[in-house]
Amino acid sequence: MTFIPTPETVQFLLSEAGREGLARAETLSLTPMSRLRDVQFLRKTLSAERTAAVVEQVLLRRRGAEKFSRANAMLFLRDALAQATREMLAQHRAARFTPFARVADIGCGIGGDTIALAQTVSRVIALDLDATRLKFASHNAAVYNTREKIRFIQANGLQRPFREHAVDAIFADPARRTSAGKRTFNPQHYLPPLNTLMTLFDRLPGGIKLAPGIDFSVLPADAEVEIVSFRGEAKEAVLWRNALATPGISRRATLLPGGYSLTDADDDACAEGSPGAYLFEPDTAVIRAGLVRQVGARLGLRLPDAHIAYLTGDNPINSPFVTAYHIEAQLPLKIKRINQYLKKENIRRVNIKQRGTGLHPERISAQIKPAKTGCERTLILTRVKDTHTAFVCRRIT
Question: In Å, how far are 101, 151, 369 from 137, measured between CA atoms?
Answer: 21, 11, 53
Q: Is pLDDT of 252 > 60?
A: yes
User: 291 vs 175, which has greater pLDDT?
Assistant: 291
Q: What's the chain's average pLDDT? A: 93
Nearest to 383 by CA among 258, 275, 280, 222: 275
Residues in the chain: 397
Q: What is the DSSP string of 109-175?
A: TTSHHHHHHHTTSSEEEEEES-HHHHHHHHHHHHHTT-GGGEEEEES-GGG-SS-GGG-SEEEE--B
Q: Residue 66: how many CA atoms within 13 Å on its side-chain side?
A: 11
Q: How many CB atoms lie within 10 A of CB 187?
A: 21
Rounded mean pLDDT of 161-178?
A: 79
371-390: pLDDT as tens digits: 999 999 999 999 998 899 99
Buried b (16+ CB within 10 A) or exposed e, 305-322: beebbbbbbeeebebbbb
pLDDT at 199: 85
What residues have CB less than 8 Å from 375, skipping those under 6 apart?
Answer: 346, 347, 348, 349
R_g of the chain, CA atoms, integer Å: 25
Rounded mean pLDDT of 26-31?
A: 96
Q: Is pLDDT of 180 > 90?
A: no
Rounded mean pLDDT of 172-185?
A: 74
Cα–Cα dist 178/2, whole Å: 16
331-383: pLDDT as tens digits: 999 999 999 999 999 999 999 999 999 888 899 999 999 999 999 999 999 99
Q: Is pLDDT of 160 > 80?
A: no
% of the chain residues with pLDDT over 90: 83
81-96: pLDDT as tens digits: 998 999 999 999 999 9
- Local confidence band at 178 (pLDDT 50, 70, 90 cut-offs): low
pLDDT at 1: 59
DSSP state letter for 82: H
Terminal-residue alpha carbon distance, the chain = 42
pLDDT at 164: 56
Pairing mode, strands 375-384 and 347-355: parallel
User: 222 vs 297, which has greater pLDDT?
Assistant: 297
Q: Is pLDDT of 179 > 60?
A: no
182-192: pLDDT as tens digits: 677 788 888 88
Q: What is the DSSP string of 275-339?
A: --SEEEEEPHHHHHTT-HHHHHHHHT-EESSTTSS-EEESS----TTEEEEEEEEEEES-HHHHH
pLDDT at 184: 74
- Global pTM reads 0.91
Phi-psi region of 10 (alpha: psi -120 to 50; beta: other; left: phi over 0): alpha
% of the chain residues with pLDDT over 70: 97
